[in-house]
Amino acid sequence: MPVRPFDLLDLNLFVAVAEAGNITRAASRAGLALASASARIRHLEEALGVTLLERQRLGVKLTPAGEKLLDHARLVLHQVAEMRSEAASYTGGVRGHIHILANTSAASEHLPRALAPFLAKHPAISIDVEERKSADIALALMSGVGDIGVAVESALGEGLDHFRFCGDRLVLICARADDLARRRVVGFAEIVERPLVGLSEGTALQDHLAAHAARLGRRLNMRARIKTFDAIGRLVEAGAGVSIIPEIAARRCAQTMKIKAARIGDPWADRQLAIATRAGHALPKAARQLVDHLKALARA
Query: What are the helix and strand counts (H, E) for the chain?
Result: 12, 13
The segments of the chain whose pLDDT lies below 50 read 1
pLDDT for res 279 = 81
Query: Which DSSP string corresponds to 153-210?
Result: GGG--TTEEEEEEEE--EEEEEETTSGGGG-SEE-HHHHTTS-EEEEPTT-HHHHHHH
pLDDT for res 28 = 82
pTM metric for this prediction = 0.73
Q: Indicate the burial class of 70 (C-beta count within 10 angstroms; 0-12, 13-18, 19 or more).
A: buried
pLDDT for res 1 = 45
pLDDT digits (tens, 9 = 90+) for 245-254: 999 999 999 9
**For residues 203 and 105, is the Cβ–Cβ distance under 8 A?**
no
3-state secondary structure of 120: helix
pLDDT digits (tens, 9 = 90+) for 188-220: 999 999 999 999 888 889 999 999 999 999 999
Closest CA to 54 of 43, 68, 40, 65: 65
d(CA 199, CA 121): 33
pLDDT for res 284 = 82
